[in-house]
Structure 1
């Protein structure tokens, strides 16, 4: 009997250790991304000069929003046909070199998470934006797994804290900002109902000079991100909770939306139209 109890106890402890290890690995992946590998070979692309050109980058080394990424690829392929765009869809970082980046009108981080570019490639993207390019980030592109100060300061303007967990996905009204940029706001719904995983940032990007396009009433959702031993995430951004914003950076511009967690977002015409405007403005 004693032998059986010892075996049972050690078995339970073993399971606990394994589960703790898996949980630790999962949390590390979300915060940092792994494995880290960088593609450096420039791809062969015939980039037309007479179309709006879009680099759709979906590499994820952190949490992978697989369904949303694939849905986004299909939607942008459709927008390319509709608007006569050229869209280069890739998860390889070799395209982030000065010569090829300069041929794109917009670069989209399609739920791209984790460290996805090496130091040199990051610098090339920074230079691309400063010199007149456009960087667009969708949902996971704004989490805290990138560890890239320029990116955080110039795309989000705020540091990610957590997302809603209780409940996870929540429905609320998304409201167009009064006086929003006319090019970005053209044809957009002034208000629509949307369900998403709502991101909470430590600061409001308004404070860093970002222009808000869409917001929600932060008091209309439960923003708590508490789980297990994490008990300090029971806060939100308050009533003024931006969910899409933009800013002029040097001669270029950035645009970010925290919406887009799963594939259903891409069935939302207002969400798609917002991204279409962000590319075409």
Structure 2
């Protein structure tokens, strides 16, 4: 009987250790990603001369991959490109982040890009691009803390990502247009609108760092509970 209890206890303990290891692996994967490789070969791109805007849609991930959202983003931007006469270049290869080619794009879109997706040199190219007037639009996953890129977090996000709700993952709430937005930017934008999303929770408000907010939500009207460590932050 004692031998059976001993074997059973070791089996339970071993199972616990394995589960802890798997859980830790998954948490690390979500927060930091596991870069497999950095693409360095310049792609062959023919930039048309008869388009209004050149748009780079970048969807590479090495962290958590929002497959459905990424695919929806590709479809949506493809429709907008046709409607508004853009040249849309869609890729998951970091090789396009070189000075020669990146300078030809009017805007770069991180389509739910998570984890570290660029090497040091490519990151510097993007930093220079933005600091010299280039535009970068980040969608959802692009705002988490998996990128391991201090400049990106401080200058593009403006706050440290904490978590997103898990218990009530998708919640509907109202968004309010800020009053100090320039008339040219707020043209055709509604003052309020209702949207259901997986709202991200941050440790601080980017306003503190001087960031301009276009729309805000009332954080008191969503339930932020449910990250891996059950931290409640607003």
TM-score of the aligned structures, taking structure 1 as reference length: 0.78
Give the Cα–Cα distance (whole angstroms) in 1 for the partners of residues 227 and 94 of structure 2.
34
Q: Structure 1, residues 51-108: CA drift from partner, whole Å, max 9, x if none?
A: 2011000111111111101110000001001101111111100000000001100000
Rg bigger for which structure?
2
Give the Cα–Cα distance (whole angstroms) in 2 for the partners of residues 180 and 57 of structure 1.
28
Any conservation in 2 of the 1:181–1:213 contact (CA below 8 Å)? no
Q: How many residues align?
A: 233
SS at match of 2:22: helix
Aligned to 2:94: 93
SS at match of 1:137: strand
Q: Structure 1, residues 92-149: CA drift from partner, whole Å, max 9, x if none?
A: 0000000000110000011101111000000000111122211111111111111211
Aligned to 1:155: 156
Listed as ranges, the matches of 1:4-15 within 5 Å are: 4-15=4-15
Aligned to 2:122: 121
Cα drift, residue 226 of structure 1: 4.4
Establish whether residue 61 from structure 1 lines up as the match of residue 59 from structure 2: no
Gap runs ≥5 in structure 1: 237-281
Cα drift, residue 4 of structure 1: 4.4
RMSD, matched Cα: 1.6
Cα drift, residue 165 of structure 1: 2.6
Aligned to 2:17: 17
Any conservation in 2 of the 1:172–1:195 contact (CA below 8 Å)? yes
Aligned to 1:145: 146
Aligned to 2:45: 45
Listed as ranges, the matches of 1:1-281 within 5 Å are: 1-51=1-51, 52-227=53-228, 230-231=229-230, 233-236=231-234
Any conservation in 2 of the 1:36–1:116 contact (CA below 8 Å)? no
Q: Which has the higher contact order (CA 8 A, sep 6+)?
A: 1
Cα drift, residue 182 of structure 1: 2.9
More strand by share: 1
Cα drift, residue 3 of structure 1: 4.8
